[in-house]
Structure 1
Amino acid sequence: MKILVLREGVHGTNASDYAAELRDRLPDHDIVHARTPSEERAEITDAAVATGTEITADLLDRAEELRLFAGAYAGHGHLPLNALESHGVGLTNAAGVHAPNIGEYVVGALLSHVRGFQQAYRQQDRREWQPVPVTELAGSTVTVVGLGNIGQAVVERLDPFDVETVGIRASPDLGGPADTVVGPDSLHDALAESAAVVLACPLTDATRGLIGDDELTTMPTESVLVNVARGPVVDTDALLDAIRNDRIGGATLDVTDPEPLPPEHPLWTLSAVQITPHNAGSTPRYYERLAEIVGTNVDCVERGGWGVDLDNVVIEP
């Protein structure tokens, strides 16, 4: 089976590294890395699988044997979905690739808040030896909004810290690893009991502005908010007001609204806020994990044909 790796890498990385991972994972297959637009146009004519960050309608028109496009991102809104369907090309995504490292990011953020690391760093800069107020994760309640791959990874990594976890998902009947799983209608009940709230949900019409003034008022005054979802899930002005007036204890934001956050934005000036530049998902193991998803699906096709169930399917091949 010929598998074509398109030219663009993930977040500026080199797609040749991805091709190398696929060759290691699928040594008996023809893995071709197209490095130029002309190579893409030539090589896609007889490829059964193409993979990369995006594919154009022009390339699909040239693809005579293509059955599957394996997207290198978890999201797929930027892809020509109608063109894929009209050409009979299936689509899978990279959901789950980010989960382990974002899980670690969230645990690190929560520990930083409860152990007072940010204040300790500021005191270190001033060479000031003073006690730092601290609390513990143990015995607290953490609510995770969104129980997809990332939300589940967060809950699993919190388990050794002896916390009570509440998971909020659109379909609570699906369950999950949290101690309690509830629907969105129980959001305020969960917020009221939470020492920390982690946002790991997709940005949809239902989640845009999900955390606003009412929700921040419901949270205990010592609680912290961690956003690894999307910036617009949080009402930024309401968050600013809540932290400035000590209505919550602080926040860690890997995503913001607006994004990138302008240098003059007041969020930068708040000592209770930690900001990272949307890199909670960064990991040197991205291509290794992506190659495992693609390799597993190729193995399934080799054994059972294109009618088998594949992982991470968005459009059936």
Structure 2
Amino acid sequence: MTLTYLSTLPLPDSWFAELSERLPDVEVHRLAAGETPDPALLERVDLLHTSEWFPEASAVPALRCVQLDTSGVDHVRRTTLWQTGVPIATLGGIAPVPMAEYAMMSILELAHRMPLIERHRADRTWPTNADRLSSLTPRQLPGATVGIIGYGRIGREISRLATAFGMHVLGLSRTGVPAPADAKFDTGRQAPGEDRAEILPMEALPEVMRRSDILVVVVPLTELTRGMIGAEQLDLLPDGALVVNIARGGIVDEQALLERLRDGRIGGVALDVFDEEPLGAESVWWSEPGALITPHVAGLAPQYHAQTLDLVVENLTRLAEGRSIVNEVDRVSGY
């Protein structure tokens, strides 16, 4: 059976050449940015590989799979394709390692007072011995408790790294039990290791907040998680807690977070995601003391092209064989 594949992504020519080489029976088509798709082509597409462009469901009657170039699916819920029974697959399994490394980088930078150190660098000032001892002495990480909100593959990898630094890990998940290590698509690039996290269900959020010296937010944005960490929840954190958000904007109340950072109740924040992206030049976050700010880069993977190709080949092969795709979104849970 010949399958028709259509990509809307700006991948290199070599990527499509290798796809054709690995799956010679698949018709490979590309849609450039701003290009008007051929209606006849859309009518016979089996797998649509896309990020932000989604046709009306009626225009793709043969569609059997939407392969996203993202891990999150919040932007797909507004499309007519979401209302169909067509399976939607995420990019899950590619980002856990770089996202976990980003989380640990942020924890280490905040613990070692890097936002304040960078301000001294920008101002070309050398702090006195007294200032260094009072404001630049690092926090102790061994023995600290890290609360991970959203304990899936990314959470497990964060847990593995945090445990190596001597930290105790609390994992909050929808099911309250660890996900199997081989869940969905696994590129095999995650290091093995025993998962020693303490896993709790979503209703235990207040307990996790109270116990977390460091909070890492990595939960998908769904109707259940939108606004789940507001002023009430932030006030449960121990004084001086650190907050790292690598999930999506809309989960953590940015204004409440800012207020608590400014009055010292929160000791430092690292934000890779925001309510509005791109973050406007006028945003106070750019220059806020105690904050590490990055432009939604935590999930960028060094081996992205190779890993994405493996995933697309796997799902096209499964479609040809009549098997279920990997990384299929559960429309009920929303991810």
Provide TM-score, normalisation by structure 2.
0.78
CA distance in 2, matches of 1:282, 1:248: 28
Partner residue, 1:30:
26
Q: Per-residue CA shift, 1:279-309, capped at 9, x if unaligned?
A: 222234333222212222333445xx21x23
User: Which amino acid letter does the alignment assign opposite residue 5 of structure 2?
Assistant: L
Give the alignment partner of residue 309 of structure 1, picking from 321, 324, 333.
324
Deviation of 1:191 after TM superposition, in Å, equals 1.9
C-alpha distance 166-178 of structure 1, shift in aligned 2 (>3 A):
farther
Listed as ranges, the gaps of 5+ residues in structure 1 are none
Matched, 1:121 2:100: no
Secondary structure at the aligned position of 1:198 is classed as strand
Matched, 1:80 2:98: no
CA distance in 1, matches of 2:275, 2:37: 39
Partner residue, 2:3:
2
C-alpha distance 265-298 of structure 1, shift in aligned 2 (>3 A):
closer
CA distance in 2, matches of 1:189, 1:62: 47
Deviation of 1:181 after TM superposition, in Å, equals 0.5
* 8 Å CA contact retained: 2:6, 2:29: yes
User: Which amino acid letter does the alignment assign opposite residue 154 of structure 2?
Assistant: I
Larger relative contact order (Cα-Cα within 8 Å, sequence gap ≥ 6)? 2
Q: Per-residue CA shift, 1:150-186, capped at 9, x if unaligned?
A: 3233223323222111100121035574510001222
C-alpha distance 133-17 of structure 1, shift in aligned 2 (>3 A):
farther
User: Which amino acid letter does the alignment assign opposite residue 69 of structure 2?
Assistant: A
CA distance in 1, matches of 2:145, 2:306: 34
* 8 Å CA contact retained: 1:195, 1:223: yes
Deviation of 1:46 after TM superposition, in Å, equals 4.9
C-alpha distance 98-79 of structure 1, shift in aligned 2 (>3 A):
farther
CA distance in 2, matches of 1:209, 1:55: 27
CA distance in 1, matches of 2:66, 2:282: 41
C-alpha distance 178-168 of structure 1, shift in aligned 2 (>3 A):
farther
Could you say which structure has the higher helix fraction? 1
**Aligned-pair identity (%):** 25
Secondary structure at the aligned position of 1:314 is classed as coil
Give the alignment partner of residue 271 of structure 2, picking from 243, 249, 253.
253
Partner residue, 2:50:
52
Using the TM superposition, name which of 246-255 and 200-209 deviates more: 200-209
* 8 Å CA contact retained: 1:5, 1:33: yes
Deviation of 1:242 after TM superposition, in Å, equals 0.7
* 8 Å CA contact retained: 2:270, 2:292: yes
CA distance in 2, matches of 1:62, 1:113: 48
Using the TM superposition, name which of 137-146 and 260-269 deviates more: 260-269
Give the alignment partner of residue 169 of structure 1, picking from 168, 173, 179.
173
Provide TM-score, normalisation by structure 1.
0.82
Secondary structure at the aligned position of 2:298 is classed as coil
C-alpha distance 204-178 of structure 1, shift in aligned 2 (>3 A):
farther
| Number of residue pairs matched by the alignment | 303
* 8 Å CA contact retained: 2:39, 2:59: no
C-alpha distance 315-83 of structure 1, shift in aligned 2 (>3 A):
same
Using the TM superposition, name which of 118-127 and 104-113 deviates more: 118-127
